[in-house]
């Protein structure tokens, strides 16, 4: 589905409403089944739902220290990712929350113990993620001083499984200023804060994390607007813009540009499905654009190479962006991006930062979401049903080399910059949370 | 710019097709009526007039006729909506309406009907008229269809029918169109008698053949193969000895046409199909796009030769011609994977070993003119280092050159507005084509000019 239809939005709303009255576990289960049944689909609804449920986990699950909170969150996150592995945003949001908890924990501890906490990197700095763990280990040392060393062990063993890469990284990296402070302890096998706060500290942490998650939610809701802000820069008067199955983000972007510029839009339509007529696709979008004086042409071609010699820019709304810069988008967009490359048209990808995933696929076909085969072929069509294998792809991966620019809510980026954006937003130790969590008891 | 007011929604592919078929039927019926009426009237009028007229008078009459025809052409020409109104007429279940004087009026009467493409020069094309073909593509040709009642009176009934079939895309494939045209022209030749005072070689082309061609072109722009064949036919006509008896000349022409069809189409197809079938190896996975009869025959032939292979068929998402293709292939026992659109094209390509497509025409710079989307398949295959084989009869070769898809193209007559727009063809540059299979053998796309020269010598 190219866009979130009303029905799905309704399901999301219903789910969000149900959150209040339900037990935590029940809400998680209902979200999992909603995801599995594709009743919540599309990256934005999935991200919102994930943020909400994680907020509930933080607010309502039982945890007495940072570690147990991290475990709770990542365990829930893992279940959500398993429910819908194709929606990379779910994992992204979980990682963001995990990183947030780690940050808040380190800050809190800093306040409680050491002045050096003020040196804790803010997420906007481009700092190797390990420096944070270094901070942690140093601080842990400080706080451990005051308590007994016996309080350390509980979780060390489990976390140690992810430590080697960290210390390796540390060995290789040019050290940040805290180096001297840390060096004796960096191999001690624990970045885990063995910080056992008292009730008030836990309360403070809880509210901080909740605030953080609210911020993430705000960010998601503002993404479209912020992306649209750069529309005028990208779209020039007289351009011929090709839009493939516009998502709400893309529509917003084009409409914003339409306020200032006169251009022509080619709308690449989704192929007509058996069940519903193709006529109503994007009708309101068309109406709004025509009202703004922008000509819209609905293009009913699968391959768009024929049009590309005229097209100036291709705008694609991403469902997710993987670490290599490859873009998961609606089926058919890879062919369009390829055609644009052929004729030298720029390919612009619109994606909120929350869609940028630190994962990178080993195999590009693993990110294809296969749809219902009866979308295009009727089950009453005997020879086809029995004789042929029908493949209906809903999403596919656009190879990174076909994409020129990524526009996010933080601005316009090139592919080379994506890795630092990933480093800014996710902690290295959370990158594989959905894998290492298995090792936990 | 009311985006909403839209044409009656084509609910889905199938009903639309049915509609079309119904239209075609109705049209055929109309034609039959018309064709019955016409000869009668002609026969009644002509002998009476002919006897009395002297040579000079005859000439004068011919001149008048020509002038009248021109005038008629003028009035009919800026009337491209003929096709569209005809369709909507058929939909509303009424007879073709005679009251269309100008497109402006017609458009005003039917807000729903897309304004004619050439409406620009016509005075009455007010703004509230539905936007017609988008500016960027207004230079491209489109099958407009000519209402039978507006056709030139000299158009032969067989050609009338053919024109309607072409404009409704009932006959759409380049080679099939060519064959049908030649067969129709044979009938035209059959029914022709050279008037007194002139000869077949001087009279037929300009007075009889040309109106047919004009009509056919108005119905749908000629494809390259038709252009080639008509040029050939005119040459044959001009070669006929002035002193040859009418019946002998006609017989000669018909035989020439027959052998042309046999050599350039029937045999050529056979050779191409056999060659292509031989190119398919055991355990190949062949990716093909939409449907073309040459590809279909090649695949079936390879299967009949006892080869085991698999087919991945990527269909044209907006014209599902591949469904029928899949049925024929599966009926023959070929395992088929059907992908209804370009989704996961790269994955599908990665699974396949070779790409087999058919061309509508080949330009002399080696570019391939084929169903829109073929180029996307070919480039993606090229990226993955796969072989792209194109099947094409040499009659479809043209000495023209095209470097992008918008030089020569056609607009889908049913989807020609802002709200629905569709191009029928695209152009694939030669570097993406590994081999072209023609009846003269397997060659590279670059060798089109060489082959064209060779053909001229023959």
Report the residue of chain B nearest A328, measured CA to CA: B344
Residue with tokens 């596919």: A396
Q: What value does the mean pLDDT of chain B take?
A: 78
Domain co-membership, A207 together with A246: no
Question: Mind listing the domains of chain B with CATH numbers?
Answer: 275-457 (3.40.50.10470)
ipTM of the complex, rounded to two decimals: 0.75
Domain co-membership, A349 together with A399: yes
Segment among A144-153, A197-206, A256-265, B196-205 with least mean pLDDT = A144-153
CATH at A237: 3.40.50.10470
| DSSP-assigned letter for residue A361 | -
Of the pLDDT bands very low, low, confident and very high (cuts 50, 70, 90), residue B341 is confident
Q: Is B372 on the interface with A (CB under 8 A)?
A: yes
Is A402 among the domain residues? yes
Report the residue of chain B nearest A397, measured CA to CA: B344
Check: CB of residue B156 under 8 Å from CB of residue B188.
Answer: yes
Q: Which chain A residues are Cβ-neighbours of B372 within 8 angstroms?
A: 301-303, 305-306
Report the residue of chain A nearest B424, measured CA to CA: A301
- Whether the per-residue pLDDT at A212 is higher than 50: the answer is yes
pLDDT per residue as tens digits for the range B253-281: 999 999 999 999 999 999 999 999 999 99
User: Which domain covers residue A152, as residue numbers?
Assistant: 6-222+429-439
Domain co-membership, A180 together with A275: no
Distance (Å) from the C-alpha of residue A286 to the closest C-alpha of chain B? 7
Domain co-membership, A282 together with A186: no
Cβ–Cβ below 8 Å for A271 and B426? no
Domain co-membership, A17 together with A154: yes
What was the pLDDT predicted at B350? Answer: 93
Segment among A240-244, B7-11, B132-136, B365-369 with least mean pLDDT = B7-11
pLDDT over 70 for what percent of chain B? Answer: 71
Closest CA to A245 of B51, B457, B343: B343
CA distances from A55 to A29, A60, A100 (A): 15, 8, 12
Distance (Å) from the C-alpha of residue A433 to the closest C-alpha of chain B? 29
Q: Is B380 on the interface with A (CB under 8 A)?
A: yes
Domain co-membership, A262 together with A138: no
**pLDDT: is B73 or A74 the higher one?**
A74
- Cβ-count burial B60-81 (b if 16+ within 10 Å, e if not): eeeeeeeeeeeeeeeebebbbb
Supply B170's token pair.
């009932």
**Of B320, B336, B376, Cβ closest to residue A335:** B376
Give the separation between CA B124 and CA B287, rounded to whole angstroms.
50
What was the pLDDT predicted at B287? Answer: 96
- Whether the per-residue pLDDT at A227 is higher than 90: the answer is yes
> What is the count of residue pairs from A and B with beta carbons less than 8 Å apart?
190
Domain co-membership, A435 together with A384: no
Domain co-membership, A216 together with A77: yes
Domain co-membership, A171 together with A284: no
Which residue of B10, B314, B332, B376 is the best one to mutate when testing the A interface, meaning the one whose CB has the most A CBs within 10 A? B376
Report the residue of chain B nearest A364, measured CA to CA: B347
Is A382 among the domain residues? yes
Domain co-membership, A56 together with A141: yes
Report how many domains make up chain A. 2
What was the pLDDT predicted at B444? Answer: 93
pLDDT per residue as tens digits for the range A363-380: 888 888 888 887 777 777
What was the pLDDT predicted at A428? Answer: 84
Q: Is B339 on the interface with A (CB under 8 A)?
A: yes
Give the separation between CA B268 and CA B436, rounded to whole angstroms.
13
Give the separation between CA A376 and CA A382, rounded to whole angstroms.
14
CA atoms within 13 A on the CB side of A164: 1
Cβ–Cβ below 8 Å for B375 and A339? yes
Supply B388's token pair.
């792209």
CATH at A26: 1.20.120.420
Residues B191-213, mean pLDDT to the nearest whole number: 89
Q: Is B317 on the interface with A (CB under 8 A)?
A: yes
Select the highest-mean-pLDDT range: A44-53, A273-282, B193-202.
A44-53
Report the residue of chain B nearest A367, measured CA to CA: B344
Which residue of A239, A280, A294, A305 is the best one to mutate when testing the B interface, meaning the one whose CB has the most B CBs within 10 A? A305
């Amino acid at each position: 589905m190219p866009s979130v239809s009303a029905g799905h939005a309704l399901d999301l709303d219903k789910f969000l409403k149900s959150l209040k009255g339900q037990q935590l576990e029940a809400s998680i289960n209902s979200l999992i089944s909603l995801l599995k049944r594709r009743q919540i689909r599309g990256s934005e609804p999935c991200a919102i739902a994930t943020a909400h449920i994680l907020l509930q986990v933080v607010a309502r699950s039982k945890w007495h220290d940072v570690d147990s909170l991290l475990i709770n969150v990542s365990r829930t996150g893992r279940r959500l990712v398993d429910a819908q592995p194709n929606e990379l945003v779910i994992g992204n949001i979980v990682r963001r929350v995990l990183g947030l908890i780690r940050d808040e924990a380190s800050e809190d501890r800093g306040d409680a113990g050491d002045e050096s906490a003020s040196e804790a990197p803010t997420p906007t700095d481009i700092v190797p993620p390990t420096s944070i763990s270094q901070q942690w280990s140093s601080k842990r040392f400080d706080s451990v001083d005051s308590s007994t060393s016996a309080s350390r062990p509980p979780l060390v063993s489990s976390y140690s499984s992810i430590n080697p890469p960290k210390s390796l990284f540390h060995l290789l990296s040019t050290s940040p200023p805290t180096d001297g402070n840390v060096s004796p302890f960096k191999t001690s096998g624990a970045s885990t804060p063995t910080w056992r706060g008292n009730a008030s500290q836990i309360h403070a942490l809880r509210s901080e994390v909740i605030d953080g998650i609210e911020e993430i939610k705000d960010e998601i809701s503002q993404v479209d607007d912020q992306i649209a802000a750069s529309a005028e820069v990208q779209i020039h008067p007289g351009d011929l813009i090709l839009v493939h199955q516009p998502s709400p983000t893309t529509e917003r972007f084009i409409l914003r540009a339409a306020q200032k510029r006169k251009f022509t839009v080619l709308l690449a339509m989704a192929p007509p499905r058996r069940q519903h007529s193709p006529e109503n696709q994007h009708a309101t979008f068309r109406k709004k654009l025509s009202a703004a004086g922008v000509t819209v042409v609905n293009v009913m071609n699968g391959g768009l190479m024929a049009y590309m010699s005229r097209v100036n820019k291709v705008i694609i709304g991403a469902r997710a962006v993987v670490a290599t810069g490859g873009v998961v988008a609606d089926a058919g967009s890879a062919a369009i991006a390829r055609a644009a490359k052929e004729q030298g048209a720029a390919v612009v990808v619109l994606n909120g930062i929350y869609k940028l995933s630190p994962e990178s696929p080993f195999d590009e076909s693993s990110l294809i979401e296969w749809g219902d085969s009866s979308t295009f072929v009727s089950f009453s069509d005997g020879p086809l049903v029995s004789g042929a294998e029908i493949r209906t792809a809903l999403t596919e991966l656009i190879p990174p080399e076909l994409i020129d620019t990524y526009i996010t809510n933080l601005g316009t980026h090139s592919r080379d910059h994506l890795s630092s954006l990933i480093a800014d937003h996710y902690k290295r130790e959370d990158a594989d949370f959905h894998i290492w969590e298995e090792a936990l008891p | 710019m009311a985006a909403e007011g839209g044409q009656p929604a084509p609910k889905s592919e199938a009903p639309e097709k049915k509609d079309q078929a119904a239209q075609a039927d109705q049209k055929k019926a109309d034609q039959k009526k018309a064709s019955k009426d016409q000869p009668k009237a002609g026969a009644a009028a002509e002998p009476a007039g002919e006897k009395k007229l002297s040579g000079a008078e005859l000439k004068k009459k011919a001149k008048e006729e020509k002038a009248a025809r021109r005038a008629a052409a003028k009035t009919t020409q800026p009337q491209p909506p003929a096709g569209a109104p005809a369709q909507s007429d058929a939909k509303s279940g009424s007879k073709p309406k005679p009251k269309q004087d100008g497109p402006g009026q017609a458009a005003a009467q039917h807000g729903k009907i897309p304004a004619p493409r050439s409406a620009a020069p016509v005075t009455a094309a007010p703004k509230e008229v539905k936007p017609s073909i988008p500016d960027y593509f207004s230079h491209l040709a489109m099958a407009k269809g000519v209402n039978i009642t507006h056709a030139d009176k000299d158009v032969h009934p067989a050609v009338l029918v053919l024109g309607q079939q072409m404009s409704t895309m009932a006959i759409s494939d380049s080679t099939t169109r060519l064959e049908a045209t030649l067969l129709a022209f044979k009938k035209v030749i059959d029914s022709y008698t050279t008037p007194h005072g002139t000869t077949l070689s001087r009279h037929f082309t300009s007075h009889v053949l040309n109106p047919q061609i004009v009509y056919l072109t108005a119905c749908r722009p000629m494809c390259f193969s038709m252009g080639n064949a008509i040029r050939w036919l005119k040459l044959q006509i001009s070669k006929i000895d002035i002193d040859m008896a009418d019946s002998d000349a006609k017989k000669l022409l018909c035989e020439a046409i027959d052998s042309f069809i046999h050599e350039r189409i029937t045999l050529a197809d056979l050779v191409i199909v056999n060659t292509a079938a031989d190119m398919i190896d055991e355990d190949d996975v062949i990716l093909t796009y939409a449907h073309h009869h040459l590809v279909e025959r090649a695949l079936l032939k390879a299967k009949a030769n006892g080869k085991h292979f698999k087919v991945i068929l990527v269909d044209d998402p907006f014209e599902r011609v591949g469904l029928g293709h899949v049925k024929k292939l599966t009926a023959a026992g070929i395992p088929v994977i059907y992908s209804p659109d370009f989704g996961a094209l790269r994955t599908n390509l990665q699974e396949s070993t070779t790409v087999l497509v058919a061309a509508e025409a080949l330009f002399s710079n080696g570019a391939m003119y084929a169903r829109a989307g073929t180029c996307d398949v070919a480039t993606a295959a090229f990226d993955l280092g796969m072989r792209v084989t194109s099947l094409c009869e040499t009659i479809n070769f043209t000495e023209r050159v095209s470097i992008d898809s918008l030089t020569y193209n056609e607009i889908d007559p049913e989807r020609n507005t802002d709200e629905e727009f569709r191009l029928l063809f695209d152009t694939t540059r030669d570097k993406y084509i590994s081999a072209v299979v023609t009846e003269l053998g397997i060659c590279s796309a670059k060798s089109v000019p060489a082959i064209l020269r060779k053909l001229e010598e023959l």
